[in-house]
Structure 1
């Protein structure tokens, strides 16, 4: 596959190492209209349970990439209704909680075609999309009266920090929600090769959970993808002591990447016999060259726990430190402008407007 991509300058060496070991086998962008040419129901077999049309039903429209990530039209013809219900009921809520405010922040619509409202535990902080003086696509983040220490504004340094708890989630269920997407992207010719992985996907215990680790990147917002994108990489040399397939999912400004475990090729190559083996990483593949000095965040996320976790999230914004010196108080109801001093401790709402937005304030 011919593919022109960029990455961050300090990750160029990692990209060279990866491309010498792997090739792109699948590159999928979620479509903007419903796909056609699906198999007739009577020819379908579920890759997750093995049952065919004579043994189960295929009435739903299962999404290859979760609908909560903004995928509307990339649907499959290889997932039965029973498995579709199982995955939705057992894993998707944890994935949504893991993503925190990001779906609201990015304006990703849910199954009801609405942007979800985010509420932190105890409703100390909420975030929702709303109109604000003529701006229709902005985000308003509100605090309850009892909330303390969530908004931190440092006018001297020119930095705003919003720190809040996410809804609790079970890490292993998040991993399996992502693994289910990877196994849905997998070409049909490999399904039998990954039978152990399909069995692992539906286990309710945490046996073999040591594989449940992912690489998480956060990219600058000018590299956001508006529809989810996925890559499936395959190793070039079957005998190499590296994982057979690596999967990467791009969602808004996030990248989730991990090796797909338990393939027959890897088991036959004794990758799970306790001896070390390598897992090369693919840096983020960008459609445009990153700006000089552009920063990204990268972390290894251990999702092996089957216990509910409570996690704090942080959003940081930068602004011109001098801008606070000339602020004036404005009453949005009356249009009155006063010389009242700005007090960061009095802030109960922050409104984030899209770039180049214009407000329709009272003229004074």
Structure 2
């Protein structure tokens, strides 16, 4: 099973590289030198189009939200007004959507690693290698054990979020990574990104692929890839894709050009960008196709997180995350 998954993953990598040129930005630790997007370019906001005569660029704008661990990729072409808008209207939903997982993954945000708190459960990180788990109710932590496996099963609930806001923030991140000549092709999307409502704005777009990666990962690592189609495949294949990996998740989405909206073109699935040794140690990863195209606020969404441990003692550094 593992070798078939690895072969499957390698085939996807070949197909992606055959059709696309990949622009890759990696973060391996929070203390590495900052990556300044748009550095030394004229100060014109890539989203609203205003320059220093009508807006300001005083704040440090994180191209990837800081709550996902990004203190390194800085967008110098995002003005303060747009930065505030994205924080207030888009990032809050993505923060709510990802919160249940981030304590398990030990993702360090602006104010450290967050906690997950519910009536009978609290999960917090002692550091990026160890978790503290407090369980109330009948049976205590023994009630969470998965029979026959060194696993715990946690039932958690997401905070309320707007699905379209998640779609918007992923596209905003993709545009931040693009050179000017590329992101200007998507000017039609920018008013939608800057609107305060949560109406869907991409007609006929393909689903967003959400991979959940089994096993222990580097909680500080972030990978962003803008994939631009090669000329030979322009007519048959979506021209731009964005692939984003942090913690135990990888997202992939098409950023459709105006002439591609509503069209059916070839969608090339990306591989999970991890070495084969990871899958041999922790098992295959799985994905879901998500439709973040609803303006209705999602409340009380339940999910299950599985945590694998080395043995009966479950407070050590060998805890590994996975989800149902």
Task: Report TM bin, short chain.
Answer: 0.7 to 0.9
SS in structure 1 of the partner of residue 221 of structure 2: strand
Taking the aligned partners of 1:87 and 1:278, their CA distance within structure 2 comes to 31
Q: 1:251 aligns with which of 242, 246, 271?
A: 246
> What is the match of residue 289 of structure 2?
300
Over residues 136-165 of structure 1, what are the superposed CA-to-partner deviations in whole Å (9 max), with x where a residue is unaligned? 942122234489999532444554311221
In structure 1, how many angstroms separate the alpha carbons of the residues matched to 2:36 and 2:241? 28
For the 8 Å contact 2:44–2:51, the answer to whether it is kept is: yes
Q: Specify whether residues 157 and 193 from structure 1 end up closer, same or farther in structure 2 by C-alpha distance, changes over 3 A only.
A: closer
**Rg: which structure is higher?**
1
Do structure 1's residue 278 and structure 2's residue 270 form an aligned pair? no
Alignment match, 1:192 = 184
Whether the 8 Å CA contact 1:225–1:250 is kept in 2: the answer is no
Paired residue for 1:355, among 299, 304, 318?
Answer: 318
Q: Structure 2 vs 1, CA of residues 74 and 254 (structure 1 numbering), >3 Å: closer, same or farther?
A: same
**Which of 161, 164, 185 matches 1:172?**
164
Q: Deviations over 1:102-128 (max 9, x none)?
A: 22122222223x2111224xx342211
- Residue among 206, 210, 222 paired with 1:228: 222
Q: Which residue of 2 aligns with 1:20?
A: 18
Structure 1 gap ranges (5+): 1-6, 325-349, 357-364
Tell me the distance in 2 between the aligned counterparts of 1:39 and 1:16. Answer: 33
Q: Give the Cα separation in 1 of the matches to 2:242 and 2:88.
A: 24
* C-alpha distance in 1 between matches for 2:122 and 2:212: 22
| Alpha-carbon distance in 2 for matches of 1:157, 1:192 | 52
Deviation at 1:231, TM superposition (A): 0.8
Distance 1:24 1:36 in 2: 19
Equivalences for residues 33-72 of structure 1 within 5 A: 33-35=33-35, 39=39, 43-72=42-71
> What is the 5 A alignment of 1:276-355?
276-287=264-275, 289-292=277-280, 294-309=283-298, 310-318=300-308, 352-355=315-318
Q: Secondary structure at the match of 2:208?
A: strand
Going from structure 1 to structure 2, the CA distance change for 1:179 and 1:150 (only over 3 Å counts) comes to farther
Query: Is the 1:150–1:164 Cα contact (8 Å) retained in structure 2?
Result: no
Asked whether the 8 Å contact 1:212–1:304 carries over to 2, the reply is: no
How far is the alpha carbon of 1:239 from its aligned partner? Answer: 3.4
The partner residue of 1:161 within 150, 153, 172 is 153
Point out where structure 2 has 5 or more consecutive residues left out of the alignment.
320-324
Deviates more, 1:55-64 or 1:172-181: 172-181
Runs of 4+ in 1 over 6 A off after TM superposition: 146-150
| Counterpart for residue 362 of structure 1 | none
Aligned residues: 308
Instruction: Write the deviation string for residues 164-195 of structure 1: whole angstroms up to 9, x where unpaired.
Output: 21212111111212111111111112132111
Residue of structure 2 aligned with 1:214, choices 192, 208, 217: 208
SS at match of 2:145: strand
Shift in Å, 1:255: 0.5
Going from structure 1 to structure 2, the CA distance change for 1:143 and 1:307 (only over 3 Å counts) comes to: farther
Cα gap change, 1:198 to 1:166, in 2 (>3 Å): same
Contact preservation (8 Å) 1:150, 1:162 = no
State the TM-score, normalized to the length of structure 2: 0.83
User: Any conservation in 2 of the 1:139–1:351 contact (CA below 8 Å)?
Assistant: no
Give per-residue Cα distances to partners, 1:286-340, cap 9 Å, x unaligned: 24544448211211111111112132221224568xx77xxxxxxxxxxxxxxxx
For the residue of structure 1 that corresponds to 2:168, the secondary structure is helix
